[in-house]
Amino acid sequence: MCLGVPGQVLAIRGNTATVDFWGVKKNVRLDNVSETIEPGDYIIDHAGFAVRKLNNDDIAETLAMYEVILSEAGCDPIATDTDLEIAVEEMALD
């Protein structure tokens, strides 16, 4: 099963955004999103690509739902995923 994760766009450079996922910052590609994305917007990320911009009316409800998912997971899957990505990138540089 795949899960898209909501995050807030902090900055944009070209087609890449720096996005905050509950304190974990990741670069996310914006190539697949037709809407204009600006810092402060929320997006849904899947595998490093923004798949859509969240409507402002949906942000609070979406974040609340993910808070439940994260608390029931018993760990922080976003941080775990990011740690794995960093380890793979470091191995590639060695």
The per-residue pLDDT for range 51-93, each reduced to its tens digit, is: 999 888 887 888 787 777 777 766 665 556 666 666 666 676 6
Please return the burial class of 76, using the count of CB atoms within 10 Å of its CB with bins 0-12, 13-18 and 19+.
middle
Please tell me the pTM assigned to this model. Answer: 0.70
User: Which domains, from first to last, does the chain contain?
Assistant: 5-93 (2.30.30.140)
Q: Half-sphere exposure of 20 toward its Cβ, with a 13 Å CA cutoff? A: 10
Q: Are 26 and 5 in contact (CB under 8 A)?
A: no
* Predicted pLDDT of residue 93: 64
Categorize the per-residue pLDDT at 29 as very low, low, confident or very high, splitting at 50, 70 and 90: very high
